[in-house]
């Protein structure tokens, strides 16, 4: 029996905002019943761009129900930009804590929120994950998802990763891969413009930053674009502003803006610095 605090029990036994919104503006569906947890989040947006209603349907444990209930309470009244800043830690703090083994429920809520807002905006926010290699076959967890939870929650051990996204909690054949990913993410933790130290305690030089940007483009971004006949070229770096040129089929693609934001900028923020912005240089 899990040791749930009073607020978690309250949101489990009397969850807020359970149900569906028939004319929802955005719907985010994550998880699967086969893996033991699934969440479908509905949001309704008012004329000012704020979330005026949020409801959910979930299949899972007490933590999943309580976390979903908490999320809907947190995001009501927020703008989409404010809602996207809500982290899984915010959900946990709102509930006064969750058992470490149940942190994946709060992560699932964060993912459902991102998916619902992406659905409203018509943006494929998680399209890169479909192209990411599968690490944990037991729970269907990709490399991209593991990298994200490690970076966002500063995870240090394989056990931490299992708690936050279930990866490694099945047959155990992926444990070495997860450990390797943790090491890679932590190694690529870099300094922000405010001068915060890197993991090694050294400030990242501009030359190092440019090298990491080029490496990320070469290993993480270009291969996905090449699959569809596209390409990308790094033109210049000015502080945290990165200038690139899209080539091949990407150059005249009507979805070029989406590509820049989610296939380029998001990757650079993940692997280099979350302060990076990307701008396209056109001929």
* Strand, helix or coil for residue 216: helix
- Where is 13: in which H helix or E strand? helix 6-13
Q: How far apart are CA 222 and CA 138, in angstroms?
A: 29
Based on the residue annotation, tell me whether 250 is a catalytic residue of this protein. no
Among residues 35, 136, 165, 250, the one annotated as catalytic is: 35
**Token pair listed for 178:** 């997860």
Q: Residue 177 pairs with which residues in a beta bridge?
A: none
The gap from C-alpha 238 to its chain's centroid, in whole angstroms, comes to 26
Give yes or no for a contact between 157 and 175, defined as CB atoms under 8 angstroms apart.
no
Phi-psi region of 206 (alpha: psi -120 to 50; beta: other; left: phi over 0): alpha
CA 183-186-187 angle, 5° bins: 80
Backbone torsions φ then ψ of 133, nearest 5 degrees: -70, 145
> Which of 61, 105, 138, 165 is the catalytic position?
105
Measured CA angle at 235 (ends 265, 221), to 5 deg: 40
What angle, 0 to 180 degrees and rounded to 10, lies between the N-to-C axes of helices 88-95 and 6-13?
A: 100
Does residue 7 contact residue 97 with C-beta atoms inside 8 Å? Answer: no
Known catalytic membership, residue 174: no
| Residues designated catalytic | 35, 105
């Amino acid at each position: 029996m899990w040791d749930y605090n009073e607020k978690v029990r309250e949101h489990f036994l009397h969850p807020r905002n359970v149900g569906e919104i028939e004319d929802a503006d955005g719907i985010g569906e994550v998880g699967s019943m086969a893996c033991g947890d699934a969440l479908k989040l509905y949001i309704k947006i008012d004329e000012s761009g704020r979330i005026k209603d949020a409801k959910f349907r979930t299949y899972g444990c007490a933590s999943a129900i309580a976390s979903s209930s908490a999320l809907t309470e947190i995001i009501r009244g927020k703008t989409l930009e404010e809602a996207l800043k809500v982290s899984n830690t915010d959900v946990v703090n709102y509930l006064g804590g969750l058992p470490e083994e149940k942190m994946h429920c709060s992560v699932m809520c964060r993912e459902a929120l991102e998916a619902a807002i992406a659905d409203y905006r018509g943006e494929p926010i998680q399209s890169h994950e479909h192209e990411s290699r599968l690490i944990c076959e037991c729970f269907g967890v990709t490399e991209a998802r593991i990298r994200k939870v490690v970076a966002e929650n500063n995870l240090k051990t394989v056990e931490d990763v299992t708690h936050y996204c279930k990866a490694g909690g099945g047959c155990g054949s992926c444990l070495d891969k997860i450990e390797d990913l943790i090491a890679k993410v932590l190694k690529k933790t870099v300094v922000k413009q405010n001068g915060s130290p890197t993991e090694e305690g050294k400030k990242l030089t501009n030359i190092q930053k440019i090298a990491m940007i080029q490496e990320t483009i070469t290993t993480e971004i270009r291969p996905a674009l090449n699959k569809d006949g596209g390409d990308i070229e790094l033109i210049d770096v000015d502080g945290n502003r990165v200038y690139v040129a899209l080539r091949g089929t990407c150059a005249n693609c009507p979805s070029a803006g989406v590509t820049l934001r989610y296939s380029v900028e998001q990757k650079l923020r993940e692997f280099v610095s979350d302060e990076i912005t990307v701008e396209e240089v056109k001929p």
